């Protein structure tokens, strides 16, 4: 009887433990499935035209997404210009100046802002930028993306500033530097690698966002000069092309998906590898 019970416990142990391994490998394999499908379908449809030509009118095959690629770059530029400085300075405040209660409030709000669904951010940018002027614009899309960049940058900046060893800070102070001088000339440079990687990760994250652009930057089948007109972007193009009933559009959606995924994954891969190496170098 006891022996039977032991056998049962041991086999339960073996079964459950192997199931956990199966679960882990199943989740990881999804990443490779995604990559594989996109390479398979997107690779076939990717051509030089995709990067250099405008979309063709409905019904004609061929054409590319040059305007969407440029549009995405412009939106990212706006998001970087508006979002990164705010995130950086607020992060400096939290790491270097903040009092206890107020910092807690800011940190909590930042986390909540980070969790706001992207579609709701879209509504906000719409009522802030689109409603007053009554038309969609690149600027509105940039504002929406900047809103998403800010909370990510704040938290990563704070984290990297806190990781700077206290001895550096004390050394600078002991030499008579003011607090501000210490931050600007010692602490920020020491953390700059990490902070910049964090910023790049934030941009990579919003580069793939679609929902906040649907009714801010909207879309456009032509070039969009300046900042005040509707602009195409890669994610929105993928969405509209994928739900359209044309086979040729589906092929282009796959191609655009491949380009977007590669950009986002490569940025992530590079940043995370750089961070890991710094992390292990520090602990070693």
Tell me how many residues contact another protein (CB under 8 A): 89
Find the shortest distance in angstroms from Cβ 19 to another protein.
Answer: 6
Residue of 1, 4, 60, 115 interacting with another protein (CB under 8 A): 115
The kind and range of the H/E element at 43 are helix 2-45
CA angle 75, 55, 259 (to 5 degrees): 55
User: Of 70, 124, 228, 229, which one interacts with another protein (CB under 8 A)?
Assistant: 124
Residues 150/84/103/112 CA torsion (nearest 10 deg): 10
Tell me the CA end-to-end span of the chain in Å, nearest whole number. Answer: 52
Considering the complex, state which of residue 67 and residue 233 has its C-beta at the smaller distance from another protein.
233
d(CA 95, CA 91): 6
Contacts (CB under 8 A) with another protein, residues 134-163: 147, 150-151, 154
- Region from 62-70, 93-101, 160-168, 185-193 binding another protein, contact rule CB under 8 A: 93-101
Residue 108 interacts with another protein (CB under 8 A): yes or no: yes
- Which secondary structure element, helix H or strand E, spans residue 159, and what is its range? helix 138-162
Between CA 176 and CA 247 the distance in angstroms is: 69
Distance CA 153, CA 86 (A): 9
- Contact stretch for another protein (CB under 8 A) within 22-30, 54-62, 67-75, 163-171: 22-30
Give which of 235, 237, 242 is closest to 220, Cα–Cα: 237
Distance CA 217, CA 20 (A): 44
Tell me: does residue 132 bind another protein (CB under 8 A). Answer: no
Using CB under 8 A as the binding rule, the residues of this chain from 189 to 218 that contact another protein are 204-205, 207-211, 214-215, 218
Question: Strand pairing partners for 63?
Answer: 55
Residue among 34 and 81 whose Cβ is closer to another protein: 34
Q: How far is the CB of 180 from another protein (least distance, A)?
A: 4
Question: Is there binding between residue 276 and another protein (CB under 8 A)?
Answer: yes
Q: How far is the CB of 80 from another protein (least distance, A)?
A: 16
Looking at residues 248 to 267 of the shown chain, list those that interact with another protein (rule: CB under 8 A): 250, 253-254, 257, 260-261, 264-265
Q: Is the CB of 21 or the CB of 57 nearer to another protein? A: 21
- Candidate residues 50, 160, 239, 249; the one interacting with another protein per rule CB under 8 A: 239
Among 183, 187, 188, 202, which residue sits at the site for another protein (rule: CB under 8 A)?
A: 183
Report d(CA 35, CA 71) in Å as an integer: 25
Cβ atoms within 10 Å, residue 57: 8
Question: Sign (positive/negative) of CA torsion 37, 41, 43, 48?
Answer: negative
For the CB of residue 222, give the shortest distance to another protein in the complex, in Å.
18
Which positions from 32 through 91 interact with another protein, judged by CB under 8 A? 34, 37-38, 41, 85-86, 89-90
Evaluate whether 238 touches 72 at the Cβ level (below 8 Å): no
């Amino acid at each position: 009887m006891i022996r039977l019970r032991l056998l049962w416990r041991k086999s339960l142990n073996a079964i459950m433990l192997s199931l956990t391994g199966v679960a882990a490998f199943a989740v990881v394999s999804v990443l490779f499935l995604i990559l594989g499908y996109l390479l398979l379908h997107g690779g076939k449809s990717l051509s030089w035209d995709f990067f250099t030509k405008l979309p063709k009118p409905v019904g004609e095959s061929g054409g590319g997404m040059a305007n969407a690629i440029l549009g995405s770059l412009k939106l990212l530029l706006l998001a970087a210009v508006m979002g990164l400085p705010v995130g950086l300075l607020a992060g400096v405040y939290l790491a270097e100046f903040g009092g206890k209660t107020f910092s807690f409030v800011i940190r909590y709000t930042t986390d909540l802002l980070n969790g706001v669904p992207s579609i709701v951010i879209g509504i906000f940018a719409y009522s802030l930028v689109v409603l007053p002027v009554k038309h969609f614009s690149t600027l509105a899309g940039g504002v929406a993306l900047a809103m998403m960049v800010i909370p990510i940058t704040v938290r990563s900046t704070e984290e990297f500033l806190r990781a700077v060893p206290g001895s550096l800070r004390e050394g600078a102070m002991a030499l008579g530097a003011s607090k501000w001088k210490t931050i600007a000339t010692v602490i920020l440079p020491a953390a700059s690698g990490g902070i910049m990687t964090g910023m790049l990760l934030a941009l990579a994250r919003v580069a793939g966002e679609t929902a906040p652009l649907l009714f801010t930057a909207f879309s456009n089948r032509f070039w969009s000069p300046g900042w005040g007109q509707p602009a195409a972007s890669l994610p929105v193009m993928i969405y509209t092309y994928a739900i359209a009933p044309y086979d040729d559009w589906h092929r282009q959606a796959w191609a655009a998906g491949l380009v977007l995924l590669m950009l986002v994954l490569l940025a992530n891969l590079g940043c995370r590898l750089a961070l890991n190496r710094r992390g292990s170098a520090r602990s070693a």
